[in-house]
Amino acid sequence: MALITMREALNQAMKEEMRRDPSVFLLGEEVGQYQGAYKITQGMVQEFGEWRVRDTPIAEEAIAGIAVGAAFVGMRPIAEMMTFNFSLLALDQIVNHAAKYRYMSGGQIRCPMVMRGPSGAAAQVAAQHSQAFESWFVHIPGLVVVMPSTPKDAKGLLKSAIRDDNPVIFMENEVLYNLKGEVPEEEFTIPLGLADVKRAGQDVTIVAWSRSTQFALQAAELLAKDGIEAEVVDPRTLRPLDEDLIFDSVRKTNRCVVVEEGWRYAGFGAEIADRVQRECFDSLDAPVIRVTAADVPMPYSRMLEKAFLPQPEKVVAAVHEVLYR
């Protein structure tokens, strides 16, 4: 095992897949000579050249369109969004082309592409650059949506995403880029669509993904001091969702809290809450509670930004509520 950051894990995943498969290439704003806005693509243009690491203009619709077209003819593009806040400019290419053509062609046309980049809040980048859009993309049939929370998951899942024959929306979190974790040094992948138990427990199930997993794990540490053992389940892939692992955990703990960085209204956590309450109704000793961001645009103030997010203390309060303590 090697102790590396998520930034390094993502970089390793792309380099390894580009060495393995000459049809894989990278495109996006500043991915080449500048080494990436967040230095995820460091060293890649030097190793693979400008033909396979392509700097683009500031034109997200063009980036997505080129990636879709290349995927249709057998390439495996990795399209970097400098931030998923900018992906809104490319929704037609993503939703009406990448996600639809395999269905519309009766399986004759595949779209093996990855769109990756940071999503969610960072640090005082305010309303237009702090949005969590997973609930938008997970709503679309034909897309795979992945949100890793650890360096190991980031590397293993990105390698699987690049090899997948479907369009994959791979959403990272800028705050997690410096997060360190143990990652196998040998070749490995993590299958898409499999959740993971990040912490075992028997008193309550906390479902969380991406940065919210870190909030959930911090909350679990605080709860343990009160003798409450929380099980933290990270879906890792939101679509397709590994609901069986979530159900197994809830049937064991009899309680469920869902934590998400996105807004409450129509957030993906509502989908999980619905499924748990339908499939595990007889096992639940309390209603499922959701802990979300505030239902307002992200403020610029550091203190208000902290109040906006689903902090560990809010998760602890929700757990006490489902435990009736």
Q: Which of 128, 126, 89, 138 minimizes the C-alpha distance to 301?
A: 126
Q: Is 129 exposed, middle or buried (0-12, 13-18, 19+ CB in 10 A)?
A: middle
DSSP string over 163-225? H-SS-EEEEE-GGGTT-EEEE-SS-----TT--EEEE--SSEEEEE-THHHHHHHHHHHHHHT
Dist CA 143 CA 219 (whole Å)? 32
Catalytic annotation, pick one of 29, 60, 80, 172: 60
**Residue 129 appears among annotated catalytic residues:** yes
Fill in the DSSP letter of residue 241.
Answer: T
Three-state SS at 8: helix
Cβ 29 vs Cβ 55: under 8 Å: yes
Residue 90's CB is within 10 A of a number of other CB atoms, namely: 24
Q: Which of 16, 30, 61, 129 is catalytic?
A: 129
Phi-psi region of 254 (alpha: psi -120 to 50; beta: other; left: phi over 0): left
Give the start-end residues of each E strand in the chain: 2-5, 24-28, 53-55, 76-80, 114-118, 144-146, 168-172, 180-183, 196-199, 204-208, 230-234, 237-239, 256-263, 289-293
Residues tagged active-site: 60, 129
